Amino acid sequence: MSALAAAATRFTGRPATAQRRLSSHLGEVTLDDGRVVIVKQADDPAAVRAEAAGLRWLAAAEAVAVPTVHGYDERCLVVDRVAQGRPGGDAAVRFGEGLARLHAAGAPAFGAAPPGGPTEAYIGLAPMRNVPGDDWPRWYATHRVLPYLRAAVDADTLSPAEARPIERVCERLPELAGPAEPPARLHGDLWNGNLLWGADGAARLIDPAAHGGHRETDLAMLHLFGAPHLDRILDGYQQVAPLADGWRDRVPLHQLFPLLVHTVLFGRGYAEQTVAAARSQLP
């Protein structure tokens, strides 16, 4: 029995009848009752623990569907596979409504990890520290923007001159952040690839980097990489939880974090976009 099939059987209690390797760290396994599960493998136990805790924390809000977590250990996670369909406008509105309810479920603090989740977590392949704070501007600068800015400068991906407008934005965050918001329960890595449209018409969230944060950050991520029917998603969101005045102007502010992560991971291709986002927030 392969490692994929063994993990699927161990955590579902059902024998495996077929398997398909999707990548070096991902595969799908068919069980004897016809269900298909995804087996995700990781080199760092913290990555598995963080994803499992994040999925369960998002599911606990009963707002947006996520794949069921069947179990995990130090090296693998077993979840249900999402049978995918086509995105539709009505489904997008329902997702927006659910995302607003998910955010409203809240978190103990900005930077709070999901219950049972590690402090040293990940966003994609990049390390991400979940350190709690009660002041969003200070927390966002200290634990989200500046660590990745320093990493990008140290790697010569961003020059010191390019870093300066980003540093100025961090200094001015208290006046740029808009009205104070309570900590929201964030997916944390909400780009289009982590939003799956199910064959049953319901949207599902996968691969979270879940933590307590500002709700505009999830929405800014959807804007950054695009999402089908984004206007309809926002319509649904605003019907449940209207956004504060000026939120559209703050989208680049919230995009600084994912843009810097991509700059660190993928290089100069994102550097100019990151600097432009910072400069858009300065007079």
The catalytic residue positions are 189
99's CB contacts (< 8 A; 6+ apart) are 63, 64, 218, 233, 236, 237
Six-digit token string for 61: 């809000």
Q: 129-151: b or e for each residue (b if 16 or more CB lie within 10 Å)?
A: ebbbbeebbebbbbbbbbbbbeb
Check residue 270 and report its DSSP letter. G
Is residue 271 within 8 Å of residue 148, measured between CB atoms? no
Where are the extended beta strands (E) located within the chain?
16-23, 26-31, 36-41, 69-72, 76-80, 120-123, 126-129, 184-186, 195-197, 203-205, 211-213
For 34, the 3-state DSSP assignment is coil
Is residue 185 within 8 Å of residue 218, measured between CB atoms? no
Six-digit token string for 86: 């086509």
259's CB contacts (< 8 A; 6+ apart) are 224, 270, 273, 274, 277
Cα–Cα distance, 149 to 140 (Å, whole number): 12
